[in-house]
């Protein structure tokens, strides 16, 4: 849908026998067709037969799509339909948060961002008259073995290369989402690279904070774009055991001042945890990644809803086109066939026609997808 992220939760259902059928067939085979369960010895009265169910979260929505959450219990091969109201807000608000890996190898990209950041903002204003930007940076967990803990290296991790760079950090929220482009430009100009030891960086830690923290300044009615710029894969949950960090991530915001305070205490979030928080907060992630790491992110995006992946050319030459393309793309539902019929304000209801023309900002369009 060409508005905010609509979260539709699907769950496949099967017939279930409530107890293990036989030691030989194993617990996993309790989920099967009726005929097979009977053959395996499960009494008909015990077989659980769940029905297709559509649950709509009716809480009011101030965004362009209502309702925001729909849960569907669906059997393989079955159908369900529901009604979605789409209303174009007059100013089509968009929030774009730059989440930038500022580790040493990103120097070229960071330099480019200093010039391309404003161009990108101007291009986005062609699509939204109410466009705001924010900025945050990340590197990695600031503990050994991810950083060199020699006292001289903690202050300047790049001293061996006679380059002055700053200490590593998990996530620093630098600029809340704002319409003040002068401030945005000033903030980017002041960014400096930081040093750390190992190749993967702490991208997931930073993404989760950017998704859940109120201080980021996401507006409820806006489309939320989280632009992640990096040239390395992210550390995964459990990686940080190497540093003696064994507390699982709790999925919450931990900003003290503008810095992620639990970087050295909590593990990286799991991919599932991150996906849940992105969905909960209606956030579209855009991965702008170096070509060398493209494959790693290609494998990842299937697990993160509403994610767009783009190859970042050297020195971020194509950053503007990449973000504008990502903005235009609608995310897809995998493994489900969705049929959308738009009920237009002019009364047209042609089956399969998903678009209405000449819709005014105050008018609502209803889209009932048959699944």
For Ca ion, which is the closer residue by CB, 105 or 156? 105
Which one of residues 63, 196, 285, 293 is an interface residue with Ca ion (CB under 5 A)? 196
Size of the site for Ca ion (CB under 5 A): 4
Least gap, CB of 50 to Ca ion (angstroms): 45
For Ca ion, which is the closer residue by CB, 95 or 101? 101
Least gap, CB of 219 to Ca ion (angstroms): 33
For Ca ion, which is the closer residue by CB, 142 or 305? 142
The window from 34-42, 149-157, 194-202, 299-307 that contacts Ca ion (CB under 5 A) reads 194-202
Identify the sign of the CA torsion 194, 119, 310, 2. positive
Q: Under the criterion CB under 5 A, does residue 140 sit at the interface with Ca ion?
A: yes
Least gap, CB of 46 to Ca ion (angstroms): 53
For Ca ion, which is the closer residue by CB, 32 or 231? 231
The window from 32-40, 114-122, 190-198, 350-358 that contacts Ca ion (CB under 5 A) reads 190-198
Q: Under the criterion CB under 5 A, does residue 263 sit at the interface with Ca ion?
A: no
Q: Under the criterion CB under 5 A, does residue 145 sit at the interface with Ca ion?
A: no
Distance CA 164, CA 109 (A): 17
Least gap, CB of 198 to Ca ion (angstroms): 4
The window from 154-162, 193-201, 282-290, 344-352 that contacts Ca ion (CB under 5 A) reads 193-201
Which one of residues 79, 198, 298, 325 is an interface residue with Ca ion (CB under 5 A)? 198
Least gap, CB of 194 to Ca ion (angstroms): 10
For Ca ion, which is the closer residue by CB, 175 or 229? 229
The window from 26-34, 87-95, 134-142, 331-339 that contacts Ca ion (CB under 5 A) reads 134-142
Distance CA 269, CA 141 (A): 13
The answer to whether the peptide bond before residue 210 is cis (omega within 30 degrees of 0) is no
For Ca ion, which is the closer residue by CB, 92 or 204? 204
For Ca ion, which is the closer residue by CB, 292 or 338? 292
Q: Under the criterion CB under 5 A, does residue 240 sit at the interface with Ca ion?
A: no
For Ca ion, which is the closer residue by CB, 191 or 196? 196
Least gap, CB of 103 to Ca ion (angstroms): 7
**CA–CA distances in Å: residue 56 to residues 66, 74, 337:** 10, 14, 19
Distance CA 14, CA 1 (A): 30
Least gap, CB of 230 to Ca ion (angstroms): 11
Least gap, CB of 168 to Ca ion (angstroms): 8
For Ca ion, which is the closer residue by CB, 121 or 234? 234
For Ca ion, which is the closer residue by CB, 63 or 196? 196
Q: Under the criterion CB under 5 A, does residue 201 sit at the interface with Ca ion?
A: yes
Distance CA 223, CA 286 (A): 13
Closest to 320 measured CA to CA, from 133, 123, 174: 123
Least gap, CB of 206 to Ca ion (angstroms): 12
Least gap, CB of 199 to Ca ion (angstroms): 6
The residues of the shown chain that bind Ca ion, judged by CB under 5 A, are 140, 196, 198, 201
């Amino acid at each position: 849908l060409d508005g905010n992220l609509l979260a539709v939760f699907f769950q496949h259902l099967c017939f279930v026998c409530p107890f293990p059928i036989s030691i030989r067939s194993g617990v996993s085979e309790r989920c099967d067709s009726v005929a097979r369960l009977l053959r395996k010895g499960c009494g008909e009265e015990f077989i659980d037969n769940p029905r297709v169910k559509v649950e709509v979260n009716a809480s009011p929505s101030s965004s362009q799509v209502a309702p925001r959450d729909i849960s569907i219990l669906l059997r393989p091969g079955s159908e369900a339909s529901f009604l979605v109201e789409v209303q174009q807000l007059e100013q089509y608000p968009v929030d774009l948060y730059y989440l930038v890996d500022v580790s040493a190898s990103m120097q070229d990209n960071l330099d480019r961002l200093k010039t391309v950041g404003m161009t990108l903002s101007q291009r986005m204003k062609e699509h939204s008259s109410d466009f705001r930007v924010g900025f945050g940076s990340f590197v990695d967990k600031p503990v050994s073995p991810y950083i060199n803990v020699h006292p001289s290296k903690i202050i300047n991790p790049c001293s061996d290369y006679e380059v002055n760079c700053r200490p590593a950090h998990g996530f620093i929220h630098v600029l809340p989402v704002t319409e003040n482009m002068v401030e945005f430009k000033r903030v980017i100009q002041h960014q400096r690279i930081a040093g750390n030891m190992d190749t993967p960086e702490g991208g997931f830690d930073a993404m989760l904070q950017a998704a859940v923290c109120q201080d980021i300044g996401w507006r409820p009615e806006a489309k939320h774009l989280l632009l992640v710029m990096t040239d390395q894969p992210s550390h995964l949950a459990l990686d940080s055991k190497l540093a003696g960090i064994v507390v699982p991530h709790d999925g919450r915001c931990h900003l003290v001042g503008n810095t992620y305070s639990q970087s050295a205490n909590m593990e990286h979030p799991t991919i599932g945890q991150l996906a849940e928080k992105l969905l909960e907060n209606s956030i579209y992630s855009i991965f702008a990644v170096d070509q060398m790491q493209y494959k790693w992110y290609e494998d990842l995006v299937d697990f993160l809803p509403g994610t767009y992946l783009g190859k970042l050319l050297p020195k971020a030459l194509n950053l503007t086109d990449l973000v504008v393309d990502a903005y235009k793309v609608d995310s897809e539902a995998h493994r489900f066939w969705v049929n959308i019929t738009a009920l237009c304000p002019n009364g047209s209801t042609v089956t399969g026609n998903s678009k209405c023309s000449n819709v005014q900002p105050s008018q609502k369009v209803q889209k009932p997808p048959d699944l």
